[in-house]
Chains A and B, each alone.
Chain A
Amino acid sequence: MQWSTLIVFLVLFVFVTVLGFIAAHWRKGDLNQLHEWGLGGRRFGTLVTWFLMGGDLYTAYTFIAVPALVFGAGAIGFFAVPYTIVAYPIVFAVLPRLWYVAHKHNYVTGADFVRGRYDSPLLALLVALTGILATMPYIALQLVGMEVVISALGFPMSGWAADLPLLTAFVVLAAFTYTSGLRAPALIAIVKDTLVYITVIAAVVIIPMQLGGFGKIFAAVPPAKVLLAVPTGQSLGMYSAFATLALGSALALFVYPHVLTGVLAARNPRTLTRNMAFLPAYSLVLGLLALLGFMALAAGVDKVPQYAPFFKQYANNFAVPALLMHSFPGWFVGVGFAAIVIGALVPAAIMSIAASNLWTRSIYRAYINPKCTEAQEASQAKLASLVVKFGALVFVLVMPATYAIQFQLLGGIWIIQILPALVFGLYTRWFDRYALALGWLAGMSVGTAIAAHLKFASSIYPLHAFGYAIPGYAALYSLILNIVIAVILTVVLRLLGVTGGQDQTLPGDYHAVRSA
């Protein structure tokens, strides 16, 4: 450990902690109301929304997990770039409708919408539970990212003292989320992005110069890792895996509770659509960070003796921290590490807020205390944000973490199952609520079974069809099953004369008032 690294890191960390508590006073509102605590009063403009959604989407996933996959497995890890490219146009086209209808009916979560649209507390409950469950491994990924970096700062890696730094970060996160709500991560996101951009630009300029240019970097990578394996006679191989990982992740992304929170906290839908043109700036950062995986290979950081114990403990996830330490002076490593840890804190805060909005609106108020006051609602949400984070800790402890990205991919398998109810629901009431619930059940069961079958160490399932093996992301396969079942059962239930319940929303609620 270098003292300069530790000091720079701690100064930045203390700074954002203070900022997190000060945020309670920013654009002041009554934090005892759920939409103030959990949606920042729905007043965020284009720039804050950009920082907030960037803070949402670019996380320890970007800094640790994706480069780790590139480092360990090569080109397949680059699926994250098409993933983010594909995600934005979909968000652009779909989510403004959610914003309008949510604003009109004061929906705080996706589950609120589903409940109103389908007149179905059951379906809303399923959507809420799925959201809370899927958020946990995603927060777990953030915790793993923080853990890796904190250990690299030189704290002990075993014994009770090893847990202390992560616990500190965890308590700080929990405390400022509790007091300031969504305002805290929104404000910290601005600092985070500044640090991230500084680190990334320095890394992609300086490290390739040190290594003798991109040509040399790619020459040092084993050829099998540079390109995707070409399909053979019997299998589509990495082609289908790559494309389905990208598409499945993109579809999963925009039904995550924390993404919907970012959407609903925007001042107006134009704020959102404008952002869809600006947000790809983050995708560029993500792509450049992914290349760090190859740079770490070329630099041979896994063969440096002093990093060996870290690679043993954290496997490929240590690639980026090792590369930073290998390439930069101590103080700048502090900046980079602070970027990673703060970049994990921000989304962890937003995710836990989103999950607790779900708990409060769709479970607590719907099933436990329907007559609760606004203040009770907000205090429930604050407590729930703590519980969700502890749930995430459990995932860290029980899941293997050779590739941290598995946490996020597992979350994707779960969250994508609410897509039919939520997204199709924005366009049509054709689907029957019970058919959607059973489709969800099928998708959840099969998706989880596949993940368990792969021992939670992979999310690529080799589907056999028409004499081919088509390896693909389990989330996409289970979603297809989900949709097929929902369609078939809707037809069957209609034929049996089952009626659909009362739709709270009107067609005009889904867009701006138009002049005729």
Chain B
Amino acid sequence: MTTSHSPSGIHPRLWWRLLLLVPIVATLWVPWYNHLEPTFIGIPFLYWYLLLWVPLSSVCSAVVYFKTRDLA
């Protein structure tokens, strides 16, 4: 496997790390989720949306891990 470095010294695959920003933005921008509807088994949107981001953030971390693990 080649580990060519871009001129900036950052390995191209390290850009995958930007994926880590997605859960941060999605859970900190309150206007996106401060709603009652739609509810899920009676739970208002605010709550299940944030809880849903727990596994989704795991997925983001896992993808970044597999894409960059040989670069650590």
Contact = CB atoms under 8 A, between A and B. Distances in A.
Interface of A: 75, 78, 81-82, 84-86, 88-90, 92-93, 96, 213-218, 226-228, 230, 239, 242-243, 246-247, 269-270, 273-274, 276-278, 280-281, 283-284, 287-288, 291, 511-512, 514-516
Contact of A514 (B23, B55, B71): B71
Contacts of B71: 511-512, 514
A274 B65 contact: yes
Given A230-B34, A280-B58, A284-B55, A86 B24 contact: yes
A273 B46 contact: no
B23 A78 contact: no
B46 A86 contact: no
A217 B47 CA distance: 13
A34 B59 CA distance: 37
Which of the four size classes fits the interface of chain B? 35 or more
Contacts of B36: 226-227
Interface in B50-70: 50-51, 53-55, 57-58, 60-62, 64-65, 69
Contacts, number: 119
A516 B21 CA distance: 29
A92 B27 CA distance: 17
B69 A284 contact: no
Contacts of B64: 92
B69 A86 contact: no
B42 interface: yes
Given A215-B42, A239-B31, A242-B30, A287 B55 contact: no
9 contacts: A75-B46, A81-B27, A85-B27, A86-B24, A92-B65, A227-B36, A243-B30, A276-B61, A287-B50
Given A85-B50, A85-B53, A273-B69, 10 more contacts: A82-B27, A82-B53, A84-B54, A92-B64, A214-B41, A215-B42, A218-B42, A227-B46, A243-B29, A280-B57
B69 A270 contact: yes
Given A86-B27, A273-B69, A93 B50 contact: no
Contact of A287 (B23, B29, B51): B51
B13 to A, nearest CB: 12
A76 B39 CA distance: 19
A214 B39 CA distance: 10
Contact of B24 (A81, A89, A242, A288): A89
Contacts of A515: 3
